[in-house]
A and B are shown apart, each in its own frame.
Chain A
């Protein structure tokens, strides 16, 4: 079974802090994704990566950056957290052109 793990289930940070969300997959997948999930808006793509050190912006990249130094790990970085970044963050991975994304359990981030 594919396993996608996220470093924290719940996280509380203060405004202005730098926040790292980590995601690790164990299936040697090429593609990895970061989404945020908000009620009534579904999932919105923040960034995705199709290879080590490669990244592309999704629909809502502002205020976020990402890092992919190893194939199995994809990090989401909030350089200076703000209250409007309070949300559920979901990571996913996918084999190249398989069109089947596997999701982690999510990190619920609260910024106060």
Chain B
């Protein structure tokens, strides 16, 4: 069964500094990988996704993520954070097979606090 680990429950970062959120997954084959963001009081919004091909994926709001098969990781990065990036971030993995399409396994989330 697939699983997702987000090692950092909470991260505090200064506005303008860089941000990296870690995500490790466990899955036998190449998974489909996703990052979602949840702003306070709102539902989840998809930031980016990786299915295959180029291992560096660009997303919305200036985020990018890199798939590293050897490390089973899919870390999210942003070079310079804005106060509006304060939110909870979720990594998710999907199997991508015909009998499990659409079913995602989510990590526990990382809460990001942005200080002035």
Contacts and interface: CB of A to CB of B under 8 A. Distances in A.
A45 B45 CA distance: 17
Contacts, number: 58
A33 B102 contact: yes
B49 A100 contact: yes
Nearest to A35: B106
Given A41-B108, A99-B49, 19 more contacts: A4-B43, A35-B106, A40-B108, A42-B4, A42-B107, A43-B106, A45-B103, A45-B104, A48-B103, A90-B44, A92-B43, A94-B102, A97-B101, A100-B49, A101-B102, A101-B104, A104-B43, A105-B42, A106-B42
Interface of B: 4, 6, 9, 32, 34, 36, 41-46, 49, 51, 90, 92, 94, 96, 101-104, 106-109
Interface of A: 4, 31, 33, 35, 40-45, 48, 50, 58, 90, 92, 94, 97, 99-106
